Amino acid sequence: DQQVKQNSPSLSVQEGRISILNCDYTNSMFDYFLWYKKYPAEGPTFLISISSIKDKNEDGRFTVFLNKSAKHLSLHIVPSQPGDSAVYFCAASLLTSGTYKYIFGTGTRLKVLA
Amino acid sequence: DGGITQSPKYLFRKEGQNVTLSCEQNLNHDAMYWYRQDPGQGLRLIYYSQIVNDFQKGDIAEGYSVSREKKESFPLTVTSAQKNPTAFYLCASSRRTGNQPQHFGDGTRLSIL
């Protein structure tokens, strides 16, 4: 049972436009959400996060939106740059028996076209 | 610079052989994690450890073993019981308290000879 889902395996966007990556989750107990960026043959790099008590968090060109009622979060990148081309993973955190566990989505490959 | 170092970057395993993947961090993080990534799939949790000398099974622990004798080190052994070991393995660490992002190493790609 996939608790965190990224239904779009890939996305292509023109340079300078907005990229919107989506993520859905099923467990209402998740209380912290993260986005990671990953280049081939490298480990994921943390991008931005949001607590479940907020609905928006912004960091430069990156904004994460959380809609708890819909169990949906999205990452907006504005403006998109060719260097943003990578695989993006969303993740959700859950405190279980005193331990934080992270559940990852399957990733969305973003290609920004110059 | 603080970070997580995984070695080797590429590893080959023969049938019936155990292999050990190294993970070292100098971030002074208490919690460490091992994930497996297969093509088209997300990261799946193999084992995790919150403190030295303690670790718990993740979602896909069968065929793997770990140890946590030092805070900085969390090696993963892929045993011969793991019948499909070919994958990209990622080690991560984080602070133990509160919601914190994980920091990842650059991974080890394991293949079968």
Average of pLDDT values for B85-98? 89
CA of A17 vs chain B CAs: smallest distance (Å): 26
**Which chain B residues are within 8 Å of A41, Cβ to Cβ?**
9, 106-107, 109
Indicate whether B98 pLDDT > 80: no
Tally of CB atoms within 10 A around B91: 28
- pLDDT-wise least confident of B10-24, B65-79, B94-108: B94-108
**Cβ neighbours for A93, distance < 8 A, ≥ 6 positions apart:** A30, A31, A32, A33, A34, A100, A101, A102, A103, B99
Average of pLDDT values for B54-81? 95
Indicate whether A98 pLDDT > 70: yes
Residue with tokens 């080690």: B91
Nearest CA in chain B to A3: B42
CA of A69 vs chain B CAs: smallest distance (Å): 21
**Which chain A residues are within 8 Å of B27, Cβ to Cβ?**
none
Average of pLDDT values for A92-109? 88
CA of A46 vs chain B CAs: smallest distance (Å): 7
For A10-48, write each residue's pLDDT tens digit: 999 999 999 999 999 999 999 999 999 999 888 999 999
Q: What is the pLDDT of residue A9?
A: 94
Is residue A1 very low, low, confident or very high in pLDDT (cuts 50, 70, 90)?
A: low
Is residue A97 very low, low, confident or very high in pLDDT (cuts 50, 70, 90)?
A: confident
Q: Is the separation of the CB atoms in B110 and B21 below 8 Å?
A: yes
- pLDDT-wise least confident of A29-33, A97-101, B1-5, B13-17: A97-101
Indicate whether B13 pLDDT > 90: no
User: Which of B86, B106, B33 minimizes the C-alpha distance to A93?
Assistant: B33
Which of B99, B100, B106 to probe by mutation at the A interface, max A CB count within 10 Å?
A: B99
User: Which of A6, A76, A13, A5 minimizes the C-alpha distance to A47?
Assistant: A76
Average of pLDDT values for A82-107? 90
Q: What is the pLDDT of residue B76?
A: 98
Nearest CA in chain A to B98: A100
Average of pLDDT values for B45-51? 93
Contact B102 A41 (CB under 8 A): no
Contact B40 A106 (CB under 8 A): yes
Q: How many residues does chain A have?
A: 114
A32-38/A45-51 β-pairing = antiparallel
- Report in angstroms the alpha-carbon separations of B44 from A47, A106, B17, B34: 20, 10, 23, 8
Rounded to whole angstroms, how far apart are CA atoms A15 and A84? Answer: 10
- Report in angstroms the alpha-carbon separations of B2 from A36, A44, A64, B29: 19, 16, 27, 11
**Which chain A residues are within 8 Å of B107, Cβ to Cβ?**
41-43
Q: Which of B42, B106, B109 comes nearest A89 by C-beta?
A: B42
Is residue B64 very low, low, confident or very high in pLDDT (cuts 50, 70, 90)?
A: very high
Q: What is the 3-state secondary structure of B10-27?
A: EEEECCCCCEEEEEEECC
Indicate whether B2 pLDDT > 80: no
Q: What is the pLDDT of residue A54?
A: 94
